[in-house]
Amino acid sequence: MTKKIAVLAGDGIGPEIVAEAIKVLSFLNTDMKLELVFDNALIGGAAYDAFGTPLPQQTLNLCKNADAVLLGAVGGPKWEPLPHAVRPERGLLGIRSELNLFANLRPAVLYPQLADASTLKPEVVSGLDIMIVRELTGGIYFGTPRGIRVLENGERQGFNTKIYNESEIRRIAHVAFKIARKRHKKLCSVDKANVLEVTELWRQVVTEVGKEYPDVQLSHMYVDNAAMQLVRAPRQFDVIVTTNMFGDILSDTAAMLTGSIGMLPSASLDANAKGMYEPIHGSAPDIAGQGVANPLATILSVAMMLRYTFNETTAAERIERAVNSALDAKVRTADIYSEGMTKVGTSAMGDAVVNALKGV
Ligand code: IPM
Ligand code: MG
């Protein structure tokens, strides 16, 4: 049966890195007869320029009819002056919400070849393997009321609402416990329960769900402490589950532990493992169009797609092994370059992975 993938390259370096991920997928498609078919559509600033909206109806329809979505990145300075409602980021948030992609998995794994690329000492980060499970369709990102209003005294006031229903917490907690079960059986739930009632409820519900997973060791941590622990002793973590905004922030921190944000993939899943797959880095407008961006996060996102949506574990593992071999062969994009390595551009890095795939 054919498997439909909606491809949304987006803005900035998006088209460059997505092209490399498609190169890798196309090779495997032929090599392993995966029966993948691709369809492209616009999102973000590119969609705004063409249609006046960051998430055109035809893009949304394509994503709804696809089995999986591959996304590059959205946004850039060109669109920053636009009103919030049509900013490129709204395209991304719109898909997450319209497709009910409530479970965002962000693995932070340190490749031993890159231990020197991290700004932290190798002994602190070596062997690092954390999975951040971020709630993606609720919390302050979507809560209402929200806006900027003018008070009676003429002063402007900005406001957002951090809100979670019990059921939203429950379903993300189940995802996190199940993932922990397949890993080292340790789950840390991150909240700010000492100040925010909404995360007091978060802590209560996660604790209740935990009773169904007695084999998983559950702990709770305040987000400020979690941020500190992530840079102090990151290997204490196995799986972290947290809210939309805390997950956004902590996953960037975790990314840097691995040397470069250019290495980190992500999966955003609905209740039936349909998913959108994207690198966690952004559109990097400063290097867009130069052919120097690191495509590995996007290539690794495609491996997650094969694993989580299509159950093609062998294909997923082949990609991950090929990325490893490419790193062993000392090819590096600028963000992970160190002395003695061969500096390559985006497309040569994609070629290196495809070449490596022939041997794994
Ligand atoms: C991410 C990004 C997005 C987010 C932006 C681009 C809306 O930072 O995926 O982490 O905040 O979720
Ligand atoms: Mg982010």
Same domain, 50 and 116: no
CB distance 136 to ligand 1 below 6 Å: no
Same domain, 229 and 129: yes
Write the CATH number for 346: 3.40.718.10
Q: Among residues 240, 263, 286, which one ends one of the domains?
A: 263
- 245 C-alpha to center of ligand 2: Å? 8
Same domain, 211 and 234: yes
CB distance 11 to ligand 1 below 6 Å: no
pLDDT at 90: 95
pLDDT at 81: 96
Q: Is 321 helix (H, G, I), strand (E, B) or coil?
A: helix
Token pair in block for residue 249:
């922030």
pLDDT at 256: 87
pLDDT at 117: 82
The C-alpha angle 227, 282, 307, rounded to 5 degrees, equals 85
Same domain, 140 and 4: no
Same domain, 259 and 118: yes
Range of the domain at 275: 1-102+270-360
Burial pattern 64-98, b for ≥16 Cβ within 10 A else e, equals eebbbbbbbbbbbeebeeeeeebbbbbbbbbbbee
Same domain, 157 and 95: no
For the chain, the domain total comes to 2
pLDDT at 1: 85
CB distance 129 to ligand 1 below 6 Å: no
Token pair in block for residue 221:
């941590």
Which of these is catalytic: 11, 67, 238, 248? Answer: 248
Same domain, 217 and 304: no
CA atoms within 13 Å, Cβ hemisphere of 184: 12
Q: Among residues 263, 292, 323, which one ends one of the domains?
A: 263
Note if 248 is an active site residue: yes
Q: Which amino acid appears at position 144 of this protein?
A: T
pLDDT at 204: 98
Q: Among residues 263, 289, 322, which one ends one of the domains?
A: 263
pLDDT at 260: 85
Asked whether the whole model's pTM tops 0.85, one would answer: yes
pLDDT at 28: 98
Measured CA to CA, the distance from residue 3 to residue 215 in angstroms comes to 36
Same domain, 165 and 259: yes
In the chain (360 residues long), the average pLDDT of successive 10-residue segments reads: 96 98 98 97 98 98 98 97 94 96 96 87 93 98 97 98 98 98 97 98 98 98 98 97 97 89 95 96 96 98 97 97 97 93 98 96
Same domain, 127 and 174: yes
- 102 C-alpha to center of ligand 1: Å? 14
Same domain, 17 and 83: yes
pLDDT at 169: 98
pLDDT at 152: 98
Note if 141 is an active site residue: yes
Measured CA to CA, the distance from residue 79 to residue 75 in angstroms comes to 7
Token pair in block for residue 318:
């082949």
Same domain, 219 and 130: yes
pLDDT at 261: 87
Same domain, 300 and 220: no
Measured CA to CA, the distance from residue 231 to residue 92 in angstroms comes to 29
